[in-house]
Structure 1
Amino acid sequence: MRHAGGITAAALVVAGCAIGVGAAWPLVSGDAEPDAADVTGVWTSPRGGRLEFSGDGRVTAGNITLAPACDPDGVRPEGARVSGTGRWTIGAFPDEAPGAVIDFRPADGPVRSCTVWTVLRRPDRAEMYLLQDDGAGEVYARAPEQVSGQGRENG
């Protein structure tokens, strides 16, 4: 009977974890799939990274970390930051909350175009991170002028 009790206890722990993850999911991903309005605009990071998503599917990036897929031969030094352009759509990397999928082309160097994934965070989708930063390294937020009604005052 001891063994059966251990299995039951393990099953309860697994079930509790599953419920906890399920309950937290809306806090990470929002209730509905994101649309272009959730991504379009300027996003900046405290480390000087900048992403500008246009409504027509273009993106301009400045001073962002480089995804390993963008440098498969390890040409750039560890921690290198890049700028470049690309095209974006809404999408999600498997097992991640949705965000923008960018077909990215660095502006300089031998690195070819590659896919860069972003993940939207918080219920209001006011933060995002690049998948290669794993959400802990560098968080992007909407530029302040966009958060406060375009940041322009008449007068």
Structure 2
Amino acid sequence: MDSGLIAAYRNTDYRVRLARGSFASLHVDAPVPAALRALVGPRRWAFITAWNPFSQRRPREQNHAAQQSLLAALQKLPSTAAIHPAIGVGQDWREPSFFVVGPELAEMDALAQQFQQNAYVHGLAEGYARLRLTSGEPPRGQAG
């Protein structure tokens, strides 16, 4: 994966929808905002999408169908405590996403690979948002 694509992921604004229509933003290598810490508690979390596999633009209808399949898969995970609507906002793109409370890293790695995502963002409530690269075998963790 080229450094430009990793830089784009690192510079994305990962927005999680909160009650009453407000948002809290996650940024790679930054602390989790207070509003999200309160939402997550001591659990793990992940920010993931099924849009644009391998960061290649795809028709909206295909993206929407994949996103619905991802939601169904997330709902079946035994570790999922909550799923919140979210959106990743880059310099010239937006991707509907999910903020998932409670998933295990291995579960998210498997889903990211199933839905052909190069990376996703994850962490713990009291920690930092981390970019996890998943396009290799096995997933490589934090992007350098």
Verify same fold: TM over 0.5.
no
**TM-score for both structures, normalised by structure 2:** 0.30
Indicate the structure (1 or 2) with the bigger Cα radius of gyration: 1
**TM-score for both structures, normalised by structure 1:** 0.29
Larger helix proportion of the pair: 2
Higher RCO by CA contacts (8 Å cutoff, separation 6 or greater): 2
